[in-house]
Structure 1
Amino acid sequence: MTTASQSTGSQTAHRPVLVVDYGAQYAQLIARRVREANVYSEIVPHTLTTEQILAKNPAAIILSGGPSSVYADGAPRVGSELFEAGVPVFGICYGFQAMANALGGLVAKTGLREYGATQVSAVGEPHSILAGVPVLQSTWMSHGDAVQEAPDGFEVLATTPGAPVAAFVNLDKSLGGVQWHPEVKHSEYGQQVLENFLFGIAGLERNWTTGNIVDEQIGRIRDQVGDARVICGLSGGVDSAVAAALVQRAVGDQLTCVFVDHGLLREGEAEQVERDFVAATGVNLYVANEQERFLSALAGVTDPEQKRKIIGREFIRAFEEAERAIIEKAKAEGEQIRFLVQGTLYPDVVESGGGEGAANIKSHHNVGGLPEDMRFELVEPLRALFKDEVRSVGRQLGLPAEIVGRQPFPGPGLGIRIIGEVTHERLELLRKADAIARHELTAAGLDDEVWQMPVVLLADVRSVGVQGDGRTYGHPIVLRPVSSEDAMTADWSRLPFDLLSRISNRITNEVEGVNRVVLDVTSKPPGTIEWE
């Protein structure tokens, strides 16, 4: 009996741009922006030593922002030896101040804090890090401390009223930084500034493309799997579909996909898996109807983490039974399934505490919900990718738009969109409400503008209502439309009022047991996209 092991698919052939995370809200967004420039990036915790960072053979290093003051007791430090290693380094916000402090510059409070939109003025003609941007540019700031004097050998490039040194560069050592956050879209020329560092200062090449991802992962999957048999669970979502398509491209008929119908899917999704994906790929598909099994295991359970663990456990157990059935059918050939494919993504790994210094926000079904005695070795070809990169890979593999463009959906399905115990009746109620919301969103032409719209049933909450001239005591439904690029951060989507009205009217009129529809207007952070 082997234990689960991390796939080598999380590695790539590219030297990474390492984003050193100092506790920034936007560390993941920095990595995403680097990848948008077709350069591979990874996030590492600030607790790594300089030796450990350099051992990863980075092509360049970006120091993120963070909430600390560089001169406070216990604040994260960066050793000056990092800047003598010959690796280009770029500091952002706290990382900018940490670089200045480590190299002998002066960081202190100026008495003028800057938060939000801030005008930055270039000192002289913009060049190097500021090449191609205007003398005055709108940026997004978040700081109380500021660099008052640049280290020796650095040229001051920009200033603001609250930051005497808002950007600097040392071209001889390929070092530089800015006080603002170029990674956020509120910084008008932020991507240009990042790319000036990546290409103008660090001299990197644009070599992180969908084609490269596909070719690299196919090669790695073949190396890992060899001639062994592979099993993959199809959830109906984008991630598992793209992961399965990648593995099939690599090993062909060695792959058998298993669709465990756990009864926690949305309306019509089981049929879509059996029809659309098989038609698109020709994959071998084994269907296991396990609805009663999951409902029985979830009976009486209300804690969200326990739900995730139960669903993960039963999912694997169902897989093991499916494996035995598949092997029994082919035992004349002496086949054995050794590998399990999972559609784990980079945000899953980060949010589940994947790596030293990362906080465990929640246990993802693809990361934290697997039993220790699982008998498969994991193949995770998407583990290094963000969601939009996965969609791009799916298009590269020829998957239909109905699959590639589908809204993200959690592995535990509607089990974590019912706040309270999961029952057959509650699932049917939520499916109807969700189908109405999705239908109206599509009819309004907003599928491309809304990243995801979870529909949540507050099963353990009831509210008084009036329906049909009578008093009702029904459940509230929560609409959670969000806009995002990679699920690391998100804002609630400003849907038209007439659309919200249609959704509310239809749900309260057509879904028995619901008498109230409410809108969740919380951003991420502080709230996660899913309620559980």
Structure 2
Amino acid sequence: MWTPKGFIDEAIEKVKDEIKDEKAVIALSGGVDSSVCSVLVGEAIGDNLTAIFVDHGLLRKGEAEQVVNTFKDRLNFIYVDASDEFLEALEGVVDPEEKRKIIGKKFIDVFEREASKIDAKYLIQGTIAPDWIESQGKIKSHHNLALPSGMVLEVVEPIRELYKDEVREIGAELGLPDSIIHRQPFPGPGLAVRVIGELTREKIQICQNADAIVREEVEKSGFNKQLWQYFAALTNTKVTGVKGDQRDFGYLVVVRMVASVDAMTAYVPEIPWELIRTISKRITSEVSEVTHVSLSISDKPPATIEFA
């Protein structure tokens, strides 16, 4: 019978046998898959694993601090603040696909730069079952990865046979906090796909502040238990509003809440009206650059979960 403890014990022995005394690296994002993978492999090989957390400056409010505080004393952990590099590379870019490509390339560049300092032989990846099933099984469980500089790392995927609910059980058994285990899915490009138009520090901060209010109110109400994702997106549209006795001209924020099983399809459930009103009032009163809040009610398909 499968149990979290049984899986952990077996996985630790497998990793020890495979990696032995060699060094390994992992890109730790703070998501449940990479977090569980990092701690699991850390239990097996200790400081021979280096977990590299690259902060691209496009994370949610407080997220970088949360990841650092969770792992800095538990793992051989490196925090890389690369936000200036990413934002410089993204300057003037409007097209969402171009944003994604730039972020993907820059991430590899930064991660590779840090990994090259470690002389690692293995790359740990948090691949889980849906990842390779959706790829029709074409990803091998053990293969080599050549990074752009010619650096070759052997790939190890300790949790590749697990599904998301099982990964969360493993995380709980390993003592990870609920904030990590039940972290809602977050796109790799981060807020780049939730800030429409050109990215600036100001617009990223506006989106972070609005999103923090959405997350706080949804979680306080308990409605998050019915949702797959819930967040705020910042449009590139400005609309007239009134702040105090003065007319104002501020941004339109869109709130999105969807329920889903696997993110292949998603729907907008019936949302308590009081929750919507509270979120709207808080955003327009606490985020000074915003004058209007709207609610996205489109399912996937035809819409996507993210905005760009």
Q: Does 1:499 align with 2:282?
A: no
* Counterparts of 2:86 and 2:195, CA distance in 1: 14
Is contact 1:262-1:290 (8 Å) kept? yes
| Residue of structure 1 in register with 2:189 after alignment | 412
| Residue of structure 2 in register with 1:232 after alignment | 26
| Residue of structure 1 in register with 2:261 after alignment | 485
Q: SS of 1:499's equivalent?
A: helix
| Residue of structure 2 in register with 1:221 after alignment | 15
After TM superposition, list the pairs within 5 Å mapping 1:283-298 onto structure 2: 283-298=75-90
1:324-380 Cα deviation digits (max 9, x unpaired): 44x3xxxxxxxx2122233334445566xx2389xxxxxxxxxxxx97667334333
Q: Does 1:260 align with 2:54?
A: yes
Q: Does 1:422 align with 2:214?
A: no
* Counterparts of 1:350 and 1:469, CA distance in 2: 58
Number of residue pairs aligned between Structure 1 and Structure 2:
300
Q: Does 1:312 align with 2:104?
A: yes
| Residue of structure 2 in register with 1:277 after alignment | 71
Q: Could you list the runs of 5+ residues in structure 2 that have no partner in the other structure?
A: 139-145
* Counterparts of 1:526 and 1:381, CA distance in 2: 36
Compared CA separation, residues 481 and 394, structure 1 to 2 (3 A): same
User: In proportion to residue count, which structure has more helix?
Assistant: 2
Aligned mate of 2:172, from 380, 388, 395: 395
Q: In terms of Rg, which structure is larger?
A: 1
Compared CA separation, residues 250 and 306, structure 1 to 2 (3 A): farther
Aligned mate of 1:342, from 125, 131, 146: 125
Offset at 1:408? 1.9
Is contact 1:257-1:286 (8 Å) kept? yes
Q: SS of 1:434's equivalent?
A: helix
Percent identity of the aligned residues? Answer: 47
Offset at 1:461? 2.4
After TM superposition, list the pairs within 5 Å mapping 1:354-503 onto structure 2: 354-355=135-136, 375=151, 376-458=153-235, 460-503=236-279
Q: SS of 2:229's equivalent?
A: coil
* Counterparts of 1:371 and 1:526, CA distance in 2: 36
Q: SS of 1:301's equivalent?
A: coil
Compared CA separation, residues 324 and 398, structure 1 to 2 (3 A): same
Is contact 1:454-1:530 (8 Å) kept? no
* Counterparts of 1:387 and 1:400, CA distance in 2: 16
1:406-448 Cα deviation digits (max 9, x unpaired): 2222222112211222211111111110111111112212232
Letter in 2 for 1:253: D
Which structure has the higher relative contact order (CA within 8 Å, separation 6+)? 2
Q: SS of 1:525's equivalent?
A: coil
TM-score, reference length from structure 1: 0.52
Is contact 1:463-1:473 (8 Å) kept? yes
Q: Could you list the runs of 5+ residues in structure 1 that have no partner in the other structure?
A: 1-206, 328-335, 358-369
TM-score, reference length from structure 2: 0.86
Is contact 2:54-2:107 (8 Å) kept? yes
| Residue of structure 1 in register with 2:288 after alignment | 512
* Counterparts of 2:133 and 2:99, CA distance in 1: 21
Q: Does 1:302 align with 2:94?
A: yes
